[in-house]
Chain A
Amino acid sequence: MKRRVGKFVLALIGPIAMIVILSMPIGLLYGGLGGVIQPIGGVFDVGRGVSMPYGQSVKIPGLNAHVEVVFDRWGIPHIYAESVHDAFSVLGYLHARERLFQMVLQNYFAAGRLGEVVGREAVSSDKFYRTIGLARAARATYQWYLDNAEHNTDVAYALELVDAEVAGVNAFIDSMTSETTPIEFKLLGFTPEHWTPVDIFLWAKMMSWSLSGSIYDLYRQWIRQTIGNDTMYNELFPDLIPYTVPIIPEQTDLSLEEFPNAPGGFPATSVPPRKTGDVTAQTPTIDLTKLRLSIDIFGKEAGAFGYHELLGSNNWVVDGVKSTTGHPILANDPHLPLQAPSLWYEAHIVVPGVLDVMGVTFPGLPGVVLGHTAKTAWGFTNVGADVLDIFVEQLNPSNPDQYMYNGAYRDFEIVDETILVKGGSSIPYEVKWSVHGPCIDSVVSTYDLDQDINPSLAMNWTGLGVTHELMSLAMLNKADNLQEYFEAVYWWDSPPQNIVFADDAGNIAMTVAGRFPVRTGYTGEYPVIALNDSVGMTSSIPYAFNPRSVNPSQHYLQSANQRPIDPSTYRYDVLGPFDDGYRGRRIDYLLSHNPSVTVDDMKRFQADSLDVSAQELVPYVISAWNNAGDGNTTAQAAVNWLSGWDYVMETNSPAPTLWRYLLSAMQHETFDELRSINTGLLLSRTPVLEKFIKENNMYYFDDHTTSGTVETRDMILVRALHRALDNMASDLGKDSSTWNYGNHHSVYIDHLARLTHIGGGPHRGDQYTLNAAGEWRVTFGPSWRIVADMGNVAQSYGVYPGGQSGNPFSSHWSDLFDLWYAYKEETGQYGYHTMYFYVSPNSFRDADAARTMIAGSTTFTP
């Protein structure tokens, strides 16, 4: 008997060992190998769920009627519903079906809960997002909608969309099978929770943070303190970028009686305050190391869109006078991170008599963000205005949980933000809030670097309260004319966006939309001590007076993140920094020099890769070489490349490669005044360099690190040429035949969890071209391209770099990327798909006699 018991025990060793080994987390496989590697229920059967069940019906509880969805050849759904509730429930279901992992990951990121998904490595990110309080702001915003829905039909309508989207997402989560569970969840061993309305507002907050939340105040302060010379600081880092062509050519005010408040209904000041030169508040000195650390932590956690320097966008519109069609033509391409799955999900939503809108949506959010209706089209670019200020609270020396305000010490609100980590552990964490906002130095241990041993840097950001962007979008999706556009954009308070518009009545418009603070007692440029409520963002610019242009006499409008309006013609301060302005200068040139613009022209403009900075500066380098060159044969060959170059950043030439190295070398050689102080300082901005070169600024061209020699502009430019060639030889190898731009400049789109990628091929353009492609390994760029012809809006064109499906094994994982990437020399255009725009499933099917447009259809039932 004992022998048999012994045998039995021995026989258990194998099974137990297998269970233990196959269940233990291995690297990314938090759920263990066993659940992943089995044929059914593991990763392999996700291939069975890649396609929509065409020809079948899918149940979504809560629908009021049947909804037919026609999927076109690109997997883009055309949703035909009888009510907005049904339409957006189905949109939510489709968002979840195709992008649930993306939605969950993004929202856990924004909520500071990423550690619950991926473990301890996300704790620093979680601390950061808990500190800035996006989830808290999302909850407050949702509560505002609940509180106001009863009295305001527009709020109620927006809330209806939110609830419908949530219902649709949860219908999918509840129906999820092994085949439809995203592979990423299987690898991570993660089960998603139900979606909630707060999740929707949370991702909207993250969008807002990513586009407008940045700490220019600390950055300016660090540069200014590091340089220690205000004259030099103002010359090298001006708020007004030279040569900028502003967005607004002619200001159009609306009626203050109709719109007395600021965007979003916030209090406004119709009489502009005195200019910001009148400063009463004190700018404190902050330890440089502490400043740098704070900047670094913000740089590391720069939001969903990464570094602000790489963000950008273009939009422009011509009216019927300037177009060959006699109707406005609108173009837009927002430059956001190129990620897989894409930030965007394209959809067409039809509710007879209510909605007929097509364009790109954010997965998880109800509404088309960029697109067109049957009568209107619109597009966004980021304004980039500074709407975030840092207030240095004066702590009570005997109680660091109190700060001075309005003559008395008051308590910080201390919020418990305990962070949960995958596996069950938790990390205690608290954030202090003053009247100005959360203390952002809670997140970084800088206390021992100066006299402050407790958090005291409070962040006041216009996006960190109740905001109304979802309501604005809901209204914009229904807008049929200019007046409804004005009414919709009134609710767009955060993040500030340049919203271009065109309609079938021939109107064109551009609104620099968003809530711009009116500051009193300080400029908003630097951290400030505000001991009372007379100093701060005390009001806002009235919506009626927001920078805006409607049907201008030049017959076109354009924006590319540059300064919105000439400050000498505008009564309020709108604080930058704004873009360097080269893309704006280029599109302004193209539109102003083209008397009759076609749809094809618009596509060519979006692909345009001429670098205006090169066009402006290269002639000076060639001239310098001719005047002061040393006869070096390698340099002469390089100058020959530049002499024959058309300034287009093409992949098959070494000149664009040289230009990027040369520009960097010119900044290095010119701004010795900065690099000799601190090598970490940004070497001014290119338009400043352009100004110095054009005006031959002898002070800055003299290299102050040398003695006994006064360098001239030509000497510096020749030195820069040599430096560029040395750096190229060092980085790229000495064989110049390998220096063609396309060998080194490629587009590479990573999966959100870095499991795979799209692309990897040579890529045109750079950060200053309309076809934006900064970095050598391009990860930012036109995340969506649209050209909408208001003369025939059903023949509009769109494309984004990715695909509708978030499943890497779907045929719609990267098919749109292939279009987006396909550049044709003969047309000078990238690929687009026609945005099929049929009012009913039957009319769509009738138009598809050749069966090339429709992939299939699915009916959703209650």
Chain B
Amino acid sequence: MAILKEGFKDVGVVPALIIVIVLAIALQLTGAWVTMLVAGAFGGLFTRRHLRAFLAGFLGVGVAWSIIFLYLISTTPVIAISGFFIGLLGLSGNLGVIVIVIAIIIGALLGGFGGVMGRAVLELVESRGIRSIETEEARSQSQLKP
């Protein structure tokens, strides 16, 4: 458990954010949206507060998806596609950019919840580790008693 603590130090929100951005872009290339939870969770491991974990995941995935969308907008008819998509919902195609904004928010939420989940996993594992260390220490002390 010490390895866990040593390996996932609290690096602060910004570095955690960068980690999430990089990971989210890499995982999104697989085309599996569920992996954004993983990206966020990974960021959550490098923070020590739930709010920071959420922010790292939320902003990280949000920025990652924004970067990808910017690339797609510059190379493909994404605005037309989003207009087409929103048209299916009975809204004006001119509001297509809303779809992209909503998509980014959904991705960001996945990252944010992933971050909280990652943080909670770490805490759970840490507490089990502390508990086992405490148990180990107590057992050692009892053996030392005459």
Contacts and interface: CB of A to CB of B under 8 A. Distances in A.
A1 interface: yes
Most chain A beta carbons < 10 A, residue from B123, B128, B131: B123
Given A47-B78, A47-B80, A41 B106 contact: no
A43 B85 contact: yes
Interface in B43-80: 50, 65, 68-69, 72, 75-78, 80
B102 A37 contact: yes
A44 B110 contact: no
B101 to A, nearest CB: 11
B117 A11 contact: yes
Given A11-B117, A18-B113, A43 B102 contact: no
A738 to B, nearest CB: 26
Interface string A379-408: 000000000000000000000000000000
B124 A39 contact: no
A45 B72 contact: yes
Interface residues of A, number: 38
Interface stretch (B1-9, B10-18, B26-34, B137-145): B26-34
Given A7-B120, A18-B109, A38 B28 contact: yes
A228 B33 CA distance: 67
Contact of A809 (B68, B80, B113, B127): B80
A756 B124 contact: no
A15 B81 contact: no
A755 B32 contact: no
A384 to B, nearest CB: 38
A47 B124 contact: no
Interface string A17-47: 0110010000010000111111111111111
Contacts of B88: 28, 187, 755
Given A38-B31, A44-B69, A755 B81 contact: no
A39 B34 contact: no
B119 A46 contact: no
B84 to A, nearest CB: 6
Interface string A521-540: 00000000000000000000
B33 A38 contact: yes
A809 B96 CA distance: 14
A194 to B, nearest CB: 22
Contacts of B84: 755-756, 808-809
Nearest to A811: B77
Nearest to B99: A37
Given A14-B113, A40-B29, A809-B81, A34 B68 contact: no
A18 B114 CA distance: 10
Contacts of A151: none
A50 interface: yes
A850 interface: no
A706 to B, nearest CB: 50
A47 B33 contact: no
Contact of B110 (A12, A18, A756): A18
Given A44-B78, A46-B81, A809-B84, A39 B65 contact: yes
A5 interface: yes
B91 interface: no
A19 B110 CA distance: 9
Contacts of B34: 19, 34
A11 B120 contact: yes
Contacts of B87: 756
Interface in B96-117: 99, 102-103, 106-107, 109-110, 112-114, 116-117
B37 interface: yes
Contacts of A809: 76-77, 80-81, 84
A851 interface: no
Contact of A44 (B33, B81, B120): B81
Contacts of B82: 44
A12 B76 contact: no
Contact of A22 (B31, B33, B69, B128): B33
A185 B68 CA distance: 22
Interface in A196-240: none
A48 interface: yes
B120 A41 contact: no
A45 B109 CA distance: 21
A37 B75 CA distance: 18
A4 interface: yes
Contacts of B29: 40
B118 to A, nearest CB: 9
B121 interface: yes
Given A38-B31, A178-B31, A4 B123 contact: yes
A8 B124 contact: yes
A10 B81 CA distance: 37
B38 to A, nearest CB: 10
B120 A8 contact: yes
Given A7-B123, A39-B68, A40-B31, A47 B131 contact: no
A597 to B, nearest CB: 44
A39 B77 contact: no
B80 A15 contact: no
A43 to B, nearest CB: 6
B33 A1 contact: no
B106 A37 contact: yes
Interface string A34-75: 111111111111111010000000000000000000000000
A36 B33 CA distance: 9
B116 A35 contact: no
B92 to A, nearest CB: 14
A46 B76 CA distance: 9
A33 B110 CA distance: 13
Contact of A47 (B32, B65, B76, B119): B76
Contacts of A1: 127-128, 131
A40 B106 contact: no
Contacts of A8: 120-121, 123-124
Nearest to B127: A4
Contacts of A187: 88
A42 B72 CA distance: 12
Given A4-B123, A44-B72, A809-B84, A14 B116 contact: yes
A220 to B, nearest CB: 43
Most chain B beta carbons < 10 A, residue from A8, A40, A47: A40
Given A34-B106, A44-B76, A50-B77, 11 more contacts: A1-B128, A8-B124, A14-B113, A14-B117, A18-B109, A18-B110, A40-B30, A41-B32, A41-B33, A47-B77, A809-B80
Interface of A: 1, 4-5, 7-8, 10-12, 14-15, 18-19, 22, 28, 33-48, 50, 178, 183, 187, 755-756, 808-809
29 contacts: A1-B131, A4-B120, A4-B127, A5-B124, A7-B120, A11-B50, A11-B113, A11-B120, A15-B117, A18-B37, A18-B106, A22-B106, A38-B103, A39-B28, A41-B28, A41-B32, A42-B33, A44-B72, A44-B81, A45-B76, A47-B76, A47-B78, A183-B81, A187-B88, A755-B88, A809-B76, A809-B77, A809-B81, A809-B84
9 nearest A-B residue pairs (beta carbon):
A41-B31, A47-B76, A14-B113, A11-B120, A39-B68, A38-B33, A8-B120, A37-B103, A4-B127
